[in-house]
Amino acid sequence: MGIRKFKLAAVQIGGIQRATPKEETVQRLCKLLNESADNGATLAVFPELSLTSFFPRWLIEDQEEIDSFFEKGDISKGVVKPLFDAAKERGCGFVLGYAELTDDGHRFNTCVLVDNQGQVVQKYRKAHLPGYVEPTEGIKWQQLEKKYFEYGDLGFPAFRPNKEWIDGIMGMLICNDRRWPEAWRVYALQGMEICFNGYNTTADGTALFNKVENKEVRMYHSDLSTKSNAYCNSCFAVSVAKCGVEDDQELIAGSLIVDPNGLVIAQAKTEGDEILYADIDLDETISGKQKMFDFSRHRRPELYGRLVSQKGAIPIE
Ligand code: CDV
């Protein structure tokens, strides 16, 4: 058995403005990774769309500008290379969210897990895209993820990185995915022991619901999704925000690290760059997986057919 205990850093970052050059942002992320490593972390988790402002809030018509938000081809080369170099140099891997443009022209809201050797171990593409394809009239901020991205096509692939670094079963989700228990359960059915989720969640909700939602309620929903799914799947969960004011729009903070009981180990206190640390022992997932949530003894898949045969609710008469 390899390394089951390690120090994790959840790296919350404050807003990234539209005008900020990516090189500058990558330097900021490198500094935060170095600080995480200085404090003994061997894995740093960054949020969704960590390289740019949350551009789906705007209807952008200029294709060149749209393209400027995306990373084309191999993420380990080009503008993000210094972060890969830092990971290798410091022996501290990372999870990073970014907008991906594939060589054959597909666009996804993506994240990668990079190990302590600076190698990409796994890629995940956001499955549950919120928002709309078309802009909504009369509102200041849009939610156009369905316009700029395709639905993730990789499913929910659990993975094991190299054992000499961390010997565990991992999964990744992106922002809205955390609200969908099905995604967590598909991972948990592959034995997932820790789940990483980066988010960019707006503090009011106008773009989705055409009404202002209470910020505290939105924070509560974000926490609840992470805690309840960690408990019901007996895994650690790490949810990390890009937060604060970004181009005039407020994003919630509240990044947190949760244990397999759904209890909070660490939670952010600020609405800007802030690193949370936790000593993770993956063996803490075993008890829940062997008792309350021993799937092989207690699940009743023969009764769950609707979960995969039906999409929307069909209310009974
Ligand atoms: N970036 C996101 O996926 N945001 C959604 C909002 C739009 C509901 C979220 O789940 O936080």
Residue 232 is a catalytic residue: no
Task: Give the pLDDT of the chain (317 residues) as one tens digit per residue.
Answer: 789 999 999 999 999 999 999 999 999 999 999 999 999 999 999 999 999 999 999 999 999 999 999 999 999 999 999 999 999 999 999 999 999 999 999 999 999 999 999 999 999 999 999 999 999 999 889 999 999 999 999 999 999 999 999 999 999 999 999 999 999 999 999 999 999 999 999 998 766 666 667 889 999 999 999 999 999 999 999 999 999 999 999 999 999 999 999 999 999 999 999 999 999 999 999 999 999 999 999 999 999 999 999 999 999 99
Specify the CATH number for the domain of residue 239.
Answer: 3.60.110.10
Domain hosting 246: range is 5-286
Say if 300 falls within a structural domain: no
Counted domains in the chain: 1
d(CA 23, CA 292): 47
Say if 59 falls within a structural domain: yes
Say if 267 falls within a structural domain: yes
In the chain, alpha helices (H): 22-38, 63-68, 81-90, 145-148, 181-188, 206-209, 215-232, 286-290, 295-298, 306-309
Residue 235 is a catalytic residue: no
Whole-structure pTM over 0.95, yes or no? yes
Say if 104 falls within a structural domain: yes
Say if 172 falls within a structural domain: yes
Q: Any residues with Cβ below 6 Å from ligand 1, and which?
A: 130-131, 143, 175-176, 179, 199-201, 208
Say if 316 falls within a structural domain: no
- Ligand 1 mean position, distance from CA 297 (Å): 35
Backbone angles phi, psi at 299, to 5 degrees: -70, 155
Say if 226 falls within a structural domain: yes
Residue 126 is a catalytic residue: yes
Q: Which atom of ligand 1 is nearest to the CA of 200?
A: 1
Say if 160 falls within a structural domain: yes
Q: What count of residues does the chain have?
A: 317
